[in-house]
Amino acid sequence: MNILFIGDIVGKPGRKLIKKFLPILRQKYNIDYVISNYENIAHGFGITEKIYNEMKNVGIDVFTGGNHSFDRKEVIKLLEENKVLRPLNYFEAPGNWYYEDENIIVISAMGIFSMPYGKNPFIELKKFVEKKEKFIFIDFHAEATAEKRALFHLLKGKVGAIVGTHTHIGSDDLEIENGTCYLTDIGLTGCRDNVIGMDIKAPIKYMLTGMKQHYDVPKKCKSIMQCLIIESDGKFSKRAFKLKIYDDKIEKTQESENGN
């Protein structure tokens, strides 16, 4: 079983890359499941029904969320789909936080630091995974790298993969230990010549003044698509490698095998 994961897709530049390259990657690497985080996909904030249908039709199978999941009201209807997830942290929110079929379980979870108040993901995930025997993929949407590393060490040997999202900055610590693939942050898919996929004006003004600004996704930019491909034996990861696409150039930047 081959899994392709795409992290935070930021606005139209990110969606353009997905539409252009995902069908190519899916065929080239014989992908069985495409998982992607949707929380920044609609101009940086949340998701719309139109964009969901657009991305589903181009080949994304399961959508994971984050702290911007509920930024747009349209998501409430989309969460009725069993393949559109919201993070498990929310107490009484609509929708599901995991998707399960005969081969895979996909989980959407958030960290604690600098995230909306909610359930403790470490306690919830520890209890949940002990009862499962399938390949479990966790998108851990967290600000703190220490939280991501802690979850990896808590659950290694029990789940197939834990991959971080949220910071939009890709890390270089891909590894597989005890069959669990780990990467602190997959990085964004979208604009790469600005501030985490957003136009530079608003974040710079905020840093200088402390006053909140409206963030916009640039209409023109240099772009990047970042994704992780995992080869599984059914329950655990055997091999994984990261791909970066700079505008039109595809590069393999990291690779790991179980035990290395």
Q: What is the pLDDT of residue 260?
A: 59
Q: Helix (H, G, I), strand (E, B), or coil: what is residue 230?
A: strand
Active site residues: 68
The CA-atom distances, in angstroms, between 249 and each of 15, 42, 224 are 17, 25, 9
User: In Å, how far from its chain's centre is CA 122?
Assistant: 18
pLDDT tens for the chain, residues 1 to 260: 999 999 999 999 999 999 999 999 999 999 999 999 999 999 999 999 999 999 999 999 999 999 999 999 999 999 998 999 999 999 889 999 999 999 999 999 999 999 888 899 999 999 999 888 899 999 999 999 999 999 999 999 999 999 999 999 999 999 999 999 999 999 999 999 999 999 999 999 999 999 988 888 998 899 999 999 999 998 999 999 999 999 777 787 888 887 65
Give the side-chain half-sphere CA count within 13 A for 173. 14
> Domain map of the chain by residue range?
2-257
Q: What is the pLDDT of residue 212?
A: 85
Q: What is the pLDDT of residue 259?
A: 63
CA 111/CA 109 separation, integer angstroms: 7
Q: Which CATH architecture has domain 2-257?
A: 4-Layer Sandwich (3.60)
Q: Where do we find the tokens 């470490």? A: 122
Q: What is the pLDDT of residue 83?
A: 96
Listing from the earlier edge strand, what are the strands of the sheet with 104-110?
A: 98-100, 104-110, 135-141, 161-165, 180-183, 175-177
